[in-house]
Each structure stands twice: as C-alpha cells, then as structure tokens.
Structure 1
Amino acid sequence: MIDESTFRRESDRALESLKQSLITAGDESGVFEFEDNNGVMNIIFEDGSPKFVVTPNTPIRQVWISAQATSYKLEFEEATTNFVLPKTGEALKPLTQRLLREHLKDATITLP
C-alpha cells in the first residue's frame, strides 16, 4: 500500500485531470454537469437519473466511483501511475468514460 502523502498527491492529480475532462465533456454534450463539493465529485444528469459520485478514500488508498448502483474501487498502480480497477485493468478516466457512455447510451461521449 502506498503512503498517505503519495496517495493524496496522486489522487489529487488524477481527480483534477478527470475533473477537467468532465467539465469539457459536460459542456460539449449538454446532458450532464460536473460538481465538486469539498473533494467529492458529482456527475449530475439532466434527465434526473441517479448521479455518479467519485471520491478518494484515503484510509484504504483507493478512489471510489459510485455509478449505476455499483461501487468501483480503484487502486493505485505504481507501474503506470494510474488508479485502476483491478478486475478489468481500466484506469480512472477510461472507466468513467465507459460508465458515462453506458449510462447515457451515447458512444460519442469522450473524456479528453
């Protein structure tokens, strides 16, 4: 397990990158909005469907995504310096993009 300061630095970096991508994609698509509330990221859908929540979990050094009634727990992978879902090997941004595409039924959603 990585130490707390490394986790905070890496999760801040990864979440800031995701945040910028979500803001851009939300503006382009017009079907969801991004909201940051004290480090808890919310993706709110215009159609009123349940939001996605992305948050760092410092005590266990994971980034969690709550989406589509499922919790995705990503772990830091030092070799790639990414947070990845162990089950699939997907990194944070590609996983979030896939979940958005599935939820919105729109394969054109892209997180730059």
Structure 2
Amino acid sequence: MVDEQTFRRDSDTALEQLKQRLIDGEDLGGYETEENNGVLNIIFDAPKAKFVFTPNTPVRQIWISALSTSFKLDWAEGKFVLPKTGEDLDVLTERLIKEHTDDDTFEL
C-alpha cells in the first residue's frame, strides 16, 4: 500500500486530469462537471443523475458512486484501476457516461 502523501498526490492528479477531460466533453456529453473539497461530481439533466468521485485515503482508493453502484479503484501500475474489470479511471468513467446517456459515440 502506498503512503498517505503519495496517495493524496496521485489521486489529486488523477482526478484533476479527469476533471479537465470531463469539462472538455461537457457540450457533447450532456452533463456538467463540478468539484467541491476534492470531490468530483458529474451532474446529468436527462436522465437526471449524479456521479460522485471521491478519494478514500484510509483505504487508498478512488470511489465512484454511479448508476446505483459503488466502484472502488485501486492504484496499480501507475493508475487507478477497477480490479474486477481492469478498467482504468478514464475508461470506466467513459463507459459509465455512455451507459447512463445511452450514447455509444461519447468519448472522453
């Protein structure tokens, strides 16, 4: 397990990079991106929903609450990855947006 300072740095960097990509895709994705106290939110108008991305320092994971499910990503090989599928933070986020909006053309 990485130390707390390293986790905070890596999770902050990963979420900031994701936030910038999400902001760039807002017009095509039909959502709004906001950040508050280190928590990243994607807010959809239609269908109405909110995805929440939270760094969880005690367990050194990034947690995503989306589509009535909790996704817990671990740090592996220089990125945050969902162990069950092997998807990294960006790939998983793109898939969740596609599933929610039913738009297979969306790219992050």
Aligned to 2:2: 2
Aligned to 2:79: 82
State the TM-score, normalized to the length of structure 1. 0.92
Alignment gaps of 5+ in structure 1: none
Written as runs of structure 1 = structure 2, the 5 A alignment for 1:9-24 is: 9-24=9-24
Distance (Å, rounded) in 1 between the aligned partners of 2:36 and 2:47: 19
Q: CA deviation at 1:31?
A: 1.0
Q: CA deviation at 1:109?
A: 1.3
Letter of the 1:18 partner, please give it. Answer: L
More strand by share: 2
| Number of aligned residue pairs | 108
Letter of the 2:13 partner, please give it. Answer: R
Q: CA deviation at 1:72?
A: 0.1
Question: Is 1:105 aligned to 2:85, yes or no?
Answer: no
Tell me the percent identity.
59
Deviates more, 1:38-47 or 1:63-72: 38-47
Q: CA deviation at 1:110?
A: 1.1
State the TM-score, normalized to the length of structure 2. 0.96
Distance (Å, rounded) in 1 between the aligned partners of 2:75 and 2:29: 31
Look up the SS of the partner of 2:25 in the other structure: helix
Task: Note the aligned Cα RMSD (angstroms).
Answer: 1.0
Distance (Å, rounded) in 2 between the aligned partners of 1:86 and 1:48: 28
Alignment gaps of 5+ in structure 2: none
Structure 1 residues 30 and 90, CA gap change in structure 2 (3 angstroms): closer
